[in-house]
Structures are given as structure tokens and as C-alpha cells.
Amino acid sequence: MDKLVIEGGIKLKGTAKVSGSKNSALPILAATLLTDEACIIRNVPNLRDTLTMLKILRTLGKSVEFDKGVVTIIQSRESGFTADYKLVSTMRASFCVLGPLLGKLKKAKVSLPGGCIIGVRPVDLHLKGFKALGADISVESGYVIATARKLKGAHMYLGGIYGSSVLATDNVVMAAVLAPGKTVIESAACEPEVADLTNFLIKMGARIKGVGTPILEIEGVEKLHGVEYSIIPDRIETGTFLVAGLITGGDIVIKDGYYQHLGAVIDKLQEAGAYIERFDNSLRIKSKSKLHPVNVTTLPYPGFPTDMQAQMMSLMCITKGISVITEKIYPDRFMHVAELNRMGAYIQREGPHAIVEGVKSLSGAPVMASDLRASACLVLAGLVAKGVTSVSRIYHLERGYEGLESKLQKLGAKIWREKEKI
């Protein structure tokens, strides 16, 4: 098993190119199950999670080729309808094969999902939506089994106790596009990744109105066809590089960084003291003054994304003053707090709140990643810490960041990979 070793204290300078969005790629790849025709998907990031999804598609009857960011998928044999535990348990997003399997085959058997340990993440909204469309649902031996003689459009509300659900919206939309009649989803997730999926489905021949809004209207069609499509850039990777530039006092340009997808993040970074310049599909960030503490509350899009909470916390650790970070999406998503405190941060947890008192500097230390975004947070802290930081369990990082180590090296960071001693 590898670890990342970082020698901190270097101001990052140069240009970083953002990869395709992981959270778009996974449901879009799953959506190819809705057609037997060939689909060509471009700008697909080479990640553990995307490779897992491609393995699942192969088990379900697809022939898959992946070369230099381009995935070509076509039906090669009779469609399967069972997504095995060994694959689904490693990645929560793989649960979104249930929707397209149910939509096309009227039956699906998918293991309950796994993924990062960031708190309770039930699938009740997914099942609620499938039931509204007319599916019979049961849970047996750790598998969700969904069947239907036929699906039918329905009016439903998919809001949960913490707001809308991206994956539930994706899943139900994919089940509904082939269901006769009209489906209306209220409290649909509005994230750019959901819009990317719906745009992909529309290009396949689906009829969807309200893209990017909390109310989606879907008119079922008889058949979808194959398409070529390019996935949007990853806004969370863009946000992570924005923090990397600011936390190190650097000056970097982020190619393919979409300003319009990061309004809440950019607002908070500017409040913290960043100078951010906007170009055509690129962003430049540098510090224009000393850093200022900011309060952050995570919310569904267009609010501040939960997937940027940990990275923002690393920035506030070295910002003089007190910041309060409130997690309203996954209230237990604070496993990185203890590791940051090991590096000299001063953070106190109070329920869904983390109170961060900025310190003069962080110190390099051996730390352990608990989930994907916590991994990025610890790398960011290591970039600014005095001394050497080693981040273990970087397989979490490899689930969502393509080539992060080499991209940071090109910006001047002293970061390298080593084998962990057992």
C-alpha cells in the first residue's frame, strides 16, 4: 500500500488542468445500460471509482474500452440484472445502476452500497421514487430487489431530512425516462452533475424539462439510442486546487475550472482573502492580503458543497481568528478533525459544528485518510505545514482525484509516493 509524502512550505505556481467530473461520469456510465447501441463518453477521469463502474458494466453484458479518457460501451451479450456485492460494496455511486436496469429490464438486483465512511447515507429516497413509478421493492440478504410488470410516470417529492439527494435524483430519473406517461420530481437535486446526466439522457432521446432546477418533468419514451458525449470538468477538483493556491500563498491558473459551478466556494474564498480572476473556462487564484476567518455551512447546490468542507477547514486551520464550519448534509463528516489536530491545528467538534481557531503554523506529521475529501484536506495541510507530512490510505484519494500527485508536482510542490512499511 502506498502513502504520499509531502515537504511543506512551498508556494504553488503554474497551471493545473482539471479532469472530468467523477460525480458526473459514474451515473452517465450507468445510463448506458438504457440502450443496446454504442455510446462514446469523453473526458472520463481514470479513477478507482470509474474503473469499478466499468467492471460492473462488463458483468451486466457490456463490452467496454477505456483509452485516454474516452470510454466506448456497447452491448456484447444478453443484459444481466444483478450487480454483485464485491463491486458495489466498494463504491456507493454504483448503486445508481439500479435505476437504468429497472427502467430497461423491469428488474434489478443490486447490493446495498458501500464507499466512504462519512456517516449514515440511506437509500430510502431511491426506493421511494422507484415505488412511486410502480416497482415492487424488497431487501434480501443485503440486496435491493426491484421488479415491475411495467413502470408508469408519477408525481413524487424526493426531499429528505438533509435536503435533496443527488444519487437518488439520478437513479429515479434513469428509471423514469422509459416509463410511459409523465413523471414529475419535486425537490430534485440541482447540482451540475445531475444536469450533466439529464443532458446526456436528452441527447440519447429522453424528454426532460427543468434541467438544473428542483422540479424535473419527464415524458417517457419507448427507446433511447447511443450517443457521443463529453463530461463536464470536476468542480470539486477545481475547488481543491483553488484552496491549494490560497493555502500556500501561491499563484496558480486552473484550466477547465468552471466559475459558474463554484459560486458559493468562490464567495467564501474571496471573503477569506483570495484574488480570483476569471477567464474562458479557467480561473486564477492568488492571495491579495492576509487570510481572514470565515464561517461555512454546507448545503445542497447552489450552497457550499459538503465535498469542499474538509478542504476549507484545512485553510481555516492557518487563518488567524475563529471560524465555524457547520455540516448540514452529513453531520458526522468530521473524521479529518483528529488528523488535523495531530498536525497542530486547534479544532473542537460540537455536534454538526467544527470550531476552528487558527494557528500560526501546522507541523508535518504522519496522518491517515478516512475518506476521499479528508484525503485531499490532509494533502492541503501537508503543503503548508512545516516539515514532512505522510498521508496513509491514499486509495481513498485515488477514488476521486486523477493524477493529483503529478499535478501538484508541476505546480512546484515537493510531494512523492512511497510504499508503506508493514
The pLDDT of 119-124, averaged and rounded, is 66
Question: Looking at the structure, do residues 144 and 284 belong to the same domain, yes or no?
Answer: no
Name the DSSP letter for residue 338: H
Question: Looking at the structure, do residues 260 and 377 belong to the same domain, yes or no?
Answer: yes
Question: Looking at the structure, do residues 35 and 169 belong to the same domain, yes or no?
Answer: yes
The pLDDT of residue 289 is above 90: no
The model's pTM is 0.95
Residues of the domain holding 87: 22-230
**The C-alpha cell of 3 is what?**
502513502
pLDDT in tens, 9-35: 999 999 999 999 999 999 999 999 999
Which amino acid is residue 300, in one-letter code? P
| Residue numbers annotated as active site | 116
Give the C-alpha separation, 44 to 369, whole Å: 25
Name the DSSP letter for residue 299: -
pLDDT in tens, 339-396: 999 999 999 999 999 999 999 999 999 999 988 899 999 999 999 999 999 999 999 8
Give the C-alpha separation, 366 to 372, whole Å: 17
Residue 285: beta bridge partners?
Answer: 252, 276
The pLDDT of residue 118 is above 70: no
Among residues 298, 341, 339, 302, which one has the least CA distance to residue 214?
A: 302
The pLDDT of residue 87 is above 80: yes
Residues 6+ apart with CB under 8 A from 88: 56, 94, 95, 110, 111, 112, 113, 114
pLDDT in tens, 191-232: 999 999 999 999 999 999 999 999 999 999 999 999 999 999
Question: Helix, strand, or coil here: 84?
Answer: coil
170: domain CATH number is 3.65.10.10
Among the candidates 230, 263, 290, a domain finishes at: 230
Burial class (CB in 10 A: 0-12, 13-18, 19+), 197: buried
**The C-alpha cell of 371 is what?**
475518506
Question: Looking at the structure, do residues 326 and 397 belong to the same domain, yes or no?
Answer: yes
Question: Looking at the structure, do residues 159 and 241 belong to the same domain, yes or no?
Answer: no
